[in-house]
Amino acid sequence: MTLTEKNLFNTLPLNPATLANLAQLGYLTMTPIQAASLPAALAGRDLIAQAQTGSGKTAAFGVGLLERLNPRRFAVQALVLCPTRELADQVAVEIRRLARALDNIKIVTLCGGVALRGQRASLENGAHIVVGTPGRVMDHLARGTLSLEALNTLVLDEADRMLDMGFFDDMATVIRQCPPERQTLLFSATYPDGIEKLANQFMRAPARITVVATVAECLIEQRFYEVTRATRLPTVAKLLNHFRPVSTLAFCNTRQQCKEVVAFLQKAGFSALTLHGDLEQRERDQVLAQFANRSVSVLVATDVAARGIDIKELAAVINVDITPDPELHVHRIGRTGRAGERGLGLSLASLDEMGAVGRIEQFQRQPSVWHTLEELAPTGSGPLLAPMVTLQILGGRKEKIRPGDVLGALTADAGFSREQIGKINVTDFTTFVAVQRDIALVALQKLNNGRVKGKSVKARLI
Ligand code: AMP
């Protein structure tokens, strides 16, 4: 999805301190569920939103309930019911982050499995927001240790799971003790019958919202390119020289295609490797170390081979082939854009793959954005080069080498700066150290002529 201005948080009527805090948290653009829910929530409407974990749903209700909160009123003004203690804890953490900019907002979690006494003391000290499981909240209401008289926002989070767990009656008991003029926000991944029952009994003309995308997906810009058999591989090279991503994971549907792509890219001067099932563990470790330390620009893999690779900071994912499985497509592109970074998901499709593209559009509920191959002029000077080079030291944990020893040999002894040295991976018998491309040869020489941990070592370029 291309990020448009209308998805910026600052288009909402929010407290300036909250806006500044959201920007500090790195939340600039709203996720689809936030863009769809927040205007209605801020206008005071009841809401039924279909959204899963990872969609940004906590902020979708959290920002709304904080906006209505009066910090100077020492009474419970918002209640979030969650199915489990784990979820309640997560929700409380996220609301605390969102509330950082506001005066002293007190959030209390009330879940089973924790002594009542401590919870009662926290409530006596004053709470603006309660996050809890239905059973325990009901318990406090029955004991008179919790009052919901001042409540203005009720959130039912993961309502389908609460119904699955048999909480309907407990929820109903709690909701009946909330003031009738409150706002009710219901979030659920699925819509079993019980959801309609809750809506009919306890909600007022709720706005209904359905969004499936996760936070990761909406920070990813997806572009599609139409290719033919003849233009497919050259287009991969053009994409690399145009966007110049530091690390790219390229997916193919078959191992044969992986081999052809790697051969093509290597011949064109890129540092590219493939990961396939025939590699021994040692070889696989070496490939992954080189990719993770940014001395290999492109890793080409099938979906099976890429399973279990966990590399953060992937600038781009290229689908050299479109996968026939739309869910797999979302998994593939979800590898980029992690940790709040923007990512690029580039997909090549020939005419006979258009059916699969259509299924992906349906699954993601968003149209694909097509770009022409003519746009892919090279940028920057010369072909894309990996910023680092890997040196291999013959010797590892068995020789008691530690990363600090290698770093010391290169900085203190050989005089390089910390910034010139990248990741250092020590395995049982060997050590990989990434160094900036321009110092690779000198660093190699210094390692071979110097000492690591008081011993001379053998090193080579890989
Ligand atoms: P949730 O679906 O509420 O569990 O949120 C998933 C993750 O996305 C949480 O770690 C949030 O901190 C993060 N998040 C929520 N909204 C945004 C946003 N607008 N921009 C970036 N990250 C967000």
Q: Which CATH number fits domain 220-375: 3.40.309.10, 3.10.400.10, 2.30.40.10, 3.40.50.300?
A: 3.40.50.300
Mean of the pLDDT values across residues 209-234?
Answer: 82
pTM over 0.75: no
Within 13 Å and on the Cβ side, how many CA atoms surround 414?
27
d(CA 8, CA 117): 43
Q: Determine the Cα–Cα distance for residues 27 and 178; give it in Å rounded to an integer.
A: 32
The Å distance, Cα 179 to ligand 1 centre, comes to: 30
Residues with CB under 6 A from ligand 1: 26-27, 30-31, 34, 53-59, 94, 215, 340
Q: Give the angle subtended at the CA of 428 by the CAs of 424 and 430, to the nearest 5°.
A: 55
**Residue 176 confidence (pLDDT):** 97
Assess whether pLDDT exceeds 60 at residue 4.
Answer: no
Token digits of residue 117: 């006494």
Q: Which of 444, 458, 462, 460 is nearest to 401 (CA)?
A: 458
What are the tokens at 409?
Answer: 């040999």
- The number of the ligand 1 atom at minimal distance from the alpha carbon of 30 is 19
Q: Which amino acid is at 320?
A: V
Q: What is the pLDDT of residues 98-133, one digit of tens each?
A: 999 888 899 999 999 899 999 999 999 999 999 999
Residue type, 282: R
Residue-wise pLDDT tens digits, 86-102:
999 999 999 999 999 88
The string of pLDDT tens digits covering residues 404-418 is: 999 999 998 889 999
Nearest to residue 71, comparing CAs of 42, 110, 101, 46? 101
User: What is the widest separation between alpha-carbon atoms in the chain?
Assistant: 80
What's the 442 CA to ligand 1 centre distance in angstroms?
A: 45
Please give the single-letter amino acid code of residue 261: V
For residue 52, the ligand 1 atom closest to its alpha carbon is 2
Task: Break the chain into its structural domains and give their ranges.
Answer: 9-210, 220-375, 388-461
The residue behind tokens 């969650």 is: 82
Query: Sorting pLDDT into bands at 50, 70 and 90, what band is 2?
Result: very low
Atom 15, ligand 1: which residue's CA is nearest?
A: 56
**Angle 134-143/168-176 helices, nearest 10 degrees?**
40
> At residue 72, does pLDDT exceed 90?
yes
Q: What is the pLDDT of residues 157-210, one digit of tens each?
A: 999 999 999 999 999 999 999 999 999 999 998 888 899 999 999 999 999 988
Determine the Cα–Cα distance for residues 25 and 34; give it in Å rounded to an integer: 15
Task: Please give the order of strands across the beta sheet that includes 129-132.
Answer: 107-110, 129-132, 78-81, 153-156, 183-188, 47-50, 207-210
Sheet holding 370-371, edge to edge: 272-275, 298-301, 248-251, 316-319, 343-349, 220-226, 370-371
The residue type of 216 is A
Q: What share of the chain is helix, strand, coil (3-state, %, to 5)?
A: 40, 20, 40
Residue 1: predicted pLDDT: 36
What is the CATH superfamily name and number for domain 388-461? Answer: RRM (RNA recognition motif) domain (3.30.70.330)
The pairing of beta strand 248-251 with beta strand 298-301: parallel
Alpha-carbon distance of 427 to 402, in angstroms, equals 10
Q: What is the mean pLDDT of residues 141-170?
A: 96
CA distances from 329 to 140, 237, 254, 356 (A): 47, 21, 15, 10
Residue 3 pLDDT? 39
Cβ–Cβ < 8 Å for 76, 140 = no
Instruction: Tell me how far apart the alpha carbons of residues 307 and 280 are, in angstroms, rounded to a whole number.
Output: 16
The two domains 9-210 and 388-461 share their CATH topology (first three levels equal) = no
Q: In this structure, which residue's CA is closest to atom 20 in ligand 1?
A: 27
Atom 9 in ligand 1: residue holding the nearest Cα? 56
Count other C-beta atoms under 10 Å from residue 350's C-beta: 14
Q: Is 129 helix (H, G, I), strand (E, B) or coil?
A: strand
How many Å apart are CA 288 and CA 410, to the nearest integer?
23
**How many Å lie between the centroid of ligand 1 and the Cα of residue 340?**
9
3-state secondary structure of 188: strand
Distance (Å) from CA 55 to ligand 1 centroid: 7
Are 187 and 51 a contacting pair, CB within 8 Å? yes
Residue type, 414: A
Say if residues 153 and 63 touch (Cβ distance below 8 Å). Answer: no
Q: Which of 19, 58, 66 to mutate to test the pocket of ligand 1 (most atoms within 8 A of CB)?
A: 58
- For 75, list phi and psi in degrees, rounded to 5: -155, 160
Percent of the chain beyond pLDDT 70? 95
Instruction: From 247, 224, 219, select the one nearest 319 (Cα to Cα).
Output: 224
Per CATH, the number for 9-210 is: 3.40.50.300
DSSP state of 369: P
Give the β-pairing of 430-436 and 388-394.
Answer: antiparallel
Q: Retrieve residue 340's tokens.
A: 């709040």
Closest CA to 26 of 91, 98, 87, 93: 98
Instruction: Write the DSSP symbol of residue 406.
Output: H
Output the average pLDDT for the chain. Answer: 91
